[in-house]
Every structure is written in C-alpha cells, then in structure tokens.
Structure 1
Amino acid sequence: MAVAEVPGPGEWLGSELRGDDSWRIRLTEAHRQEVLAAVHAAGSEVSRESFRLPTLGPVLRRVRDELTHGRGFVLLQGVPVEGLSERQCETAALGLSCHVGGVVPQGPEGAPVMHVRDTGADPSHARTKSYQHSGRLGYHSDPTDVVALLCVRPAKSGGLSAVVSSVAVHNEVVRTRPDLAEVLYEPWWHDRRTGDGPDSFYTKPICAARPGGGVSIAYGPDYLRSAQRGATVPPFTGAQEEAMALLDDLTNDARFTLTMDFRPGDLQFLNNHVTLHSRTAYEDHPEPPRRRHLLRLWLTTAPGERR
C-alpha cells in the first residue's frame, strides 16, 4: 500500500513550541473560585449540567476544539487543588473534564478516575500497569479519544511529562522510510496486561486512516514488547523491530519533544489519536502525604458521548 503524509494542525514540532505559550491556559482567580464553588456544590453524580462553570465552561469548549481540530493538546494551569481532599480533587477533575468530553470508565471496576502513583509495583513485570510504578515510560497513547491528567502533587524529582505530535513522527517516517511506514499500517500484537490468557492479547495496526481524513496512531512500545509473552503471539519480524527502533528514535528526538514539568493544579489534555506522551522516571518524597499523585481520566469526544 502507498502511505502518504498527513498535513494539518496536528503536525507540530516541540522545538518550535518551546518559546510559545499558546498551548497553556492559565485560570483566572474568578475561574478558580468558580471551580471551588462547583466542587463544594457537587453531589454524588458529577456531570456537565451539575458542575456549573458559567465563565470557565466556554474556555473548556475551546479546549475541546483545540484537542479535536487543533494541535491536539492543552495544558490548563491553576486548578485549585490546594486544601482540597482527595475526593474533592476527584470531583474537580471530573467536573472540568465533563466540559471537554464524556468520561470513559477505566479498569476492571469501571472507575471514572484512576490514581497515578507509585504503588511499588515492578515495572519489569508483564502485568504491571504504567500508572503503578515510578519508572520511565516509553512514548505511548491511551486507548480513548482523550486522556486528562491532573497533578495533585509532583514528585521530589523527575516525573517530567513529554509530548510529541504522532502526526509529525508519522510524516517523518513516510518521508524517510516509506517501506517502514507501510509496516505501521499492518496488524500488530498488543497487550492489555489483564492476565496471561488469550484475552489479554489483540491485534490492531499502529497507524490507521481516520474517517473523514487524517490518521490515528496507537503506539506503546512497552505494551507491544510485553505482548511477546503471549503463547500464540509470533515474534517481531525484522521490519517490525526496525520500525519500532525508528519510532523510538524519533519520539526521543529533541526536534519533536515538548516537555512539561507538572506543578500542582496543572491539568493536561491530550488527543490520543494525534499525540504520544511519555514520563521520565521519578523519585518520591519519603513521606506518603508528599508523594507524587496524578488523577487520570479517559474521555470520548464522539457523538452520544457518556457523561
């Protein structure tokens, strides 16, 4: 098959955005008070209608538009997490995210919010999830339209978030190695890390054409490599190994990467179709109340989205 470059606003270089603050949105004090009022008024069910944001709501609609039709990422800064309980931080993350998309349940219990913190899990274990340890993560996308990450507390050191335009990486592969670009559109084995049985493994291309134009890129080297443990999963072909090596080289190239050092109250939104994200390894404070803590939400932007 002949693979072509995909133009559009989703193609950007980190090197061109480091001096550009247009991807940051800083909440005003009025916005912060609006969030706090909505948190304190919220009941057990949080929705776009119940979490009222009269002046911040239109800003979040612009965030959604930037995610779906623009660069594909936004960093919202200044969410008032200071002094809030863990439950209230969850409510703030849910309420803000409901104005961007429909909340998608996560994990075996279908939780609306996942807590990202080091539980002491072994990152080399094939069934450990990426949010359970403090090790470095390869550049990857999550399995929904959008992932949102709210920083409640950063680590003592490390834990930097980095984002790349997967569209820019895709186009670079097309320009330089069109033979490997074709391999990315073929089926690959992925690992859900839900167990050792056949249900944990499935096939899908890394790159797929999107209806109406564009490309959706679903990459995650850690989960692709752990899929090799599957009894019926064939070993990587030489072309697949070469394609992964090229993707890993490009996603770690300073031209493509944009790094964010999360501070309390930073809320990052990423379109998983057109961006890949990573995290450096981190060291935590010894005291549990000071350890790194993020809240993760998965969102859909499809018609009829859940709330």
Structure 2
Amino acid sequence: MARVIGGPAAWRGPEIVDSPEWKIELTPEHVEELRVALRGIDQPDRSLRSITRDDFPLPTLASVLAGVQDELVDGRGFVLLRGVPVDELSERQAELMYWGIGLYVGVPIHQKGEDDLLLHIRDMGLDRNDPLVRGFQTSARLDYHADSSDVVGLLCIRPAMRGGVSTIVSAVAVHDEIVRRRPDLAEVLHERWWHDRRSGDGPESFFQCPIFAEEGGKLFAHYGRAYIDSAPRGEGVPDLTAAQVEAMDLLDELDNSPDFVLNMNFAPGDIQFLNNYRIMHARTDYEDYPEPERKRDLIRLWLVLDRDLGLPPDFEAGGITPRSAALSR
C-alpha cells in the first residue's frame, strides 16, 4: 500500500525559496581551478569520452562536487551551482569545462544519438505535436517530467529574452499529498505504466515502469505525461484507463500548484543539478532575442551515479541507456 514517505526530499517551494542552502557560489579559487583544468584538455581534436577526472584536476572544488552528489542522493535532490565563467569561454570551451565538472558528479550517458553526450537546449523550430519530437527542441512550455538518467544537469549559457523559467517540484512531497488526499489514486500511480521513449516506432521505444515506487524506504519517480499519452501508439500498448487519466490529472494539478513549485531564473554560468527520481521539472514557454548570438542556450548533461541507489528493477532498465551498461563502459 502506498504510504507517506517524508524526509529531506519532501520539501515545498514556498518553504525553501529564500533559503541559501540549495545554492553554491563558486569562489574565485574554484573558478581559477576550472580555468587551469580547462587549459589541460582544450585541444580541438580531443573527444569528450577520452577525458577523465584525472585529466581535469580540481584540488578544492572536487570535495564541493562530492557534496553535490550527496545532496542529490540523500538531501533535497537538487542543487544550483553558480559562477561558471561562461562569459569568457567559446562554445567548445564551455562544453569542455562543463564536461569536466560533470565527471565529478556522475558518469555521462548519451541522450539521443550515441554521440549526444552534451545537448544544447535550443529552439529548433520543430512541431511540438509530432510524437517523435522531444519538447526541449521547441520553445513551448514543458510540462512536469523526469529525464531518463539518474541526474540531469543544465548549464546556462544564455537565458531567453522572455520566459524560459525553470520550475521544479519535489516528487516526494507531491506523492505524499496524493496519498493523503486520494490513496486510491496513489495505488494506481504505483502500478506499472507504459512509457514512450520516442526513439522510433519499434518495440524498443516502449517500456513499462511505475510512476511512483518505494524501495528500501525511499520513493522513486518517473513521469512525463506526454510520453505516457503517446505510448498507446505502440503495438500492443493499451489505451489509458479512466483511473489512470484521473491519477495523472491530480498529479499534474499538484505539480503546478504554487504550494509545491520552486521557480529558478537562470543566469549565465548557473548549473542546475536534479535527481530525476526525486525531482520533477518543467519550463515556461519562452521568446528568444532576434539575434542568433543572443538566443537562449542551455547545455544538458545526463549522468548516472556510480553508487548503489537501491533502485526498483523497472527503474534500472527504464531509461534510454540502462544504468548497468553505462557504468560498465
């Protein structure tokens, strides 16, 4: 039976919006370490996969980033790291520096194609209603969801002219409220659901995973309504039931409630790290500057953590890259 989980990850936005505890400001010493480490890997033909932590030494920042991982797993489930010196970097240098930082948090995995280890989140002018288009490729609002990795990182190079606000909620807090209000729907959300990877039309594009699952006293979440709504396009995938639709309607209502939401307006050099099993994130729609060089640009990194997270079996294999495959590389 679904039950209230609680704990440090069960926060509500209005209660912590003014807290400095989820923000980490890089010191001048940290920034200089990043500059020095970048010089060691800044070669035009250097591939990302060839760069290891040993190639990107961070004498004092390393312990800060280890603390970031601990906070993601055992704390609130998110961190905002501020002060990466993107204004002085070329696009390639920003990618390399971000890659080096990410190696201290987790193991990067591909996101769309085999070589998409870093993805620029830009408006590509695609149709949001196309079932094979992923929301980050447009400027449209993104509903609350979790990505297909243990951790997602977003480095802000440039914000939009208007909009594009990142909003997050605690999946644990929302889950617990559903248990209190509608325990019957909480049970539905703990059942196995069909999800669509939108990687094609074959059976490999579809998998089953609960929206919420408890394992070892911890809650795990995986949600993206658009990817659930489109799953019945798969052969043998049934239509959603009335109870499933009602459960998602309540989940969406709470996800968007000001009682739960925490808004983040990114500045250049901010990195948002989220635990995808504890945090759901969304984005408001946005309008870009007309000049190409001023358009909104975030760089996304997907990471798996080289530690035992106690994941339910469906969560181990439900992403684009199974965790075991990523960690064995």
- Fold shared by both chains (TM-score > 0.5): yes
Give the alignment of 1:1-307 within 5 angstroms. Answer: 2-42=1-41, 44=46, 45-210=50-215, 212-303=216-307, 305=327
Amino acid in structure 1 at the alignment position of 2:18: G
Structure-2 separation of matches of 1:232 and 1:123: 25
Q: Give 1:185 deviation, angstroms.
A: 1.2
Amino acid in structure 1 at the alignment position of 2:34: V
SS at match of 1:115: strand
Structure-1 separation of matches of 2:92 and 2:221: 34
Q: Give 1:25 deviation, angstroms.
A: 0.5
SS at match of 2:263: strand
Residues 104 and 306, structure 1, Cα contact 8 Å, conserved in 2:
no
- How many residue pairs get matched? 305
Amino acid in structure 2 at the alignment position of 1:254: P
RMSD: 1.4
Q: String of CA shifts for 1:84-138, please: whole Å, max 9, x gaps.
A: 1111111111111111111122222242211111111111111101221110001
Greater shift after overlay, 297-306 or 93-102? 297-306
Structure-1 separation of matches of 2:199 and 2:112: 9
Q: Give 1:302 deviation, angstroms.
A: 3.0
Structure-1 separation of matches of 2:156 and 2:108: 18
Q: String of CA shifts for 1:31-51, please: whole Å, max 9, x gaps.
A: 112111111211523222211
Aligned to 2:318: none
Residues 103 and 306, structure 1, Cα contact 8 Å, conserved in 2:
no
Q: Give 1:233 deviation, angstroms.
A: 2.1
SS at match of 1:67: helix
Q: String of CA shifts for 1:247-302, please: whole Å, max 9, x gaps.
A: 00000000100000011000000001111000000001111111111111111113
SS at match of 1:49: helix
Greater shift after overlay, 24-33 or 270-279? 24-33
Structure-2 separation of matches of 1:194 and 1:61: 33
Structure-2 separation of matches of 1:213 and 1:104: 28
Task: Report runs of 4+ in structure 1 exceeding 6 Å deviation.
Answer: none
Higher helix share: 2
Gaps of 5+ in 1: none
Amino acid in structure 1 at the alignment position of 2:69: R
Q: Give 1:207 deviation, angstroms.
A: 1.1
- Return the TM-score normalized by structure 1: 0.96
Q: String of CA shifts for 1:200-237, please: whole Å, max 9, x gaps.
A: 22221111223x32011001011111223334322111
Residues 300 and 306, structure 1, Cα contact 8 Å, conserved in 2:
no
Percent of pairs identical after alignment? 50
Amino acid in structure 2 at the alignment position of 1:66: E
Residues 156 and 292, structure 1, Cα contact 8 Å, conserved in 2:
yes
Task: Give the direction of change, closer, same or farther, for the CA distance of 1:79–1:306 in structure 2 (3 Å limit).
Answer: farther
Structure-1 separation of matches of 2:118 and 2:56: 16
Structure-2 separation of matches of 1:76 and 1:138: 24
Residues 190 and 227, structure 1, Cα contact 8 Å, conserved in 2:
yes
SS at match of 1:82: helix
Greater shift after overlay, 198-207 or 48-57? 198-207
SS at match of 2:293: helix
Q: String of CA shifts for 1:63-99, please: whole Å, max 9, x gaps.
A: 1110111000000001011121111111111111111
Residues 145 and 271, structure 1, Cα contact 8 Å, conserved in 2:
yes
Structure-2 separation of matches of 1:248 and 1:237: 17
Structure-1 separation of matches of 2:112 and 2:285: 23
Aligned to 2:320: none
